[in-house]
Amino acid sequence: MRIYKTTYFVMVLTALAIIATSPGIATAKDAKPDAKNTTEVVKDTKGNFARGAKLWANRCSSCHNMRDPKDLTDSEWEATIMHMRIRAGLSGQDTRDILVFLQKTN
């Protein structure tokens, strides 16, 4: 039991350190508006590492013990996150962000 608590603590600290040292997350307000449509929201189709780390630390840990991203391969994380997208009600962007974080730290 102590190992799980220590692992959880280390993983949360790692995620927070990554978030603290990463550049700010761009929002739709920060994006330059398109000349044709000034209300267009810019979405990151590739996923955002820092946002994924924060979501993983907040959303996934609310139900699960924190797992080391190295526990699963990239393809296993992809299958897992697609399954959890439905169960946890994650948006497509949240899913991409979490997957990018897990795969890059794998």
Positive or negative, the Cα torsion across 63, 67, 69, 73? negative
pLDDT tens track, the chain, 106 positions: 566 666 666 665 566 556 555 555 554 444 455 545 444 444 556 889 999 999 999 998 889 888 888 999 999 999 999 999 999 999 999 999 999 999 999 8
Query: Rounded to two decimals, what is the model's pTM?
Result: 0.60
- The CA distances from residue 91 to 36, 45, 72, in Å, are 27, 12, 22
Tell me the H-state helices in 1-106: 2-21, 49-58, 74-88, 92-104
Q: What are the structure tokens assigned to 95, written together?
A: 């899913």
